[in-house]
């Protein structure tokens, strides 16, 4: 798809996500995550998916719901910026989103299906951006960011959370 973003293309906070994305085609990474996330989470029971590793931490279903919501926000930002919309885009409070969504009342299989659909929609959006659109800059959460960075953030954000899932949720 495109080359890795430079540090000048995003807020420093997002560097930790972008650094997790392997070298190579971003589209391949985004596509692989559909299978890897499904393989990691689909064998779990509903009881296991409602598990949180500590008080005040999200359950596995809430982590997955957070990935879905965040990807939608990041893809929407990418769309607006790619289309040369100069309107500054607001931030969002992830904890408020998770609390309002009631992900634990949903089935794990339904959340996994939604993750796949959202990811496929994101991939379709990103694959049609021109090189000029990938490099476009806009403002989101009071910080300048490129479309390219948003694609990498989506991939790195999933890698970050799935690492936490492996090391803090599934080792209990």
Domain range list for the chain: 7-169
Mean pLDDT of the chain: 96
At 56 the pLDDT is 95
At 172 the pLDDT is 64
Question: CATH top-level class for 7-169?
Answer: mainly alpha
Q: For the chain, how far is it from start to end, CA to CA, in angstroms?
A: 38
At 171 the pLDDT is 83
Stretches where the chain sits below pLDDT 70 are 1-2, 172
Query: Residues 6 or more apart from 27 whose CB is under 8 A from it?
Result: 1, 123, 126, 127
Residue with tokens 């996330």: 37
pLDDT in tens, 130-158: 999 999 999 999 999 999 999 999 999 99
* Contact criterion met (CB below 8 Å) for 114 and 69: no
Question: 166: which DSSP letter?
Answer: I
């Amino acid at each position: 798809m495109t080359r890795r973003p430079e540090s000048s293309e995003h807020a420093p906070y997002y560097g930790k996500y972008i650094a997790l994305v392997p070298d190579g085609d971003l589209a391949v990474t985004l596509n692989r995550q559909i299978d890897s996330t499904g393989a990691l989470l689909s064998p779990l029971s509903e009881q296991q998916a409602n598990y949180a590793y500590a008080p005040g931490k999200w359950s596995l279903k809430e982590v997955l719901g957070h990935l879905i919501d965040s990807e939608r926000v990041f893809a929407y930002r990418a769309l607006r910026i790619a289309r040369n919309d100069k309107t500054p885009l607001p931030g969002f409070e992830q904890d408020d989103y998770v609390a309002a969504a009631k992900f634990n009342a949903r089935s794990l299989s339904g959340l996994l299906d939604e993750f796949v659909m959202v990811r496929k929609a994101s991939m379709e959006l990103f694959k049609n951006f021109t090189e000029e659109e990938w490099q476009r800059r806009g403002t989101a959460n009071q910080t300048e960011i490129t479309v390219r960075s948003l694609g990498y953030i989506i991939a790195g954000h999933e890698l970050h959370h799935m690492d936490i899932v492996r090391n803090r949720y599934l080792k209990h």
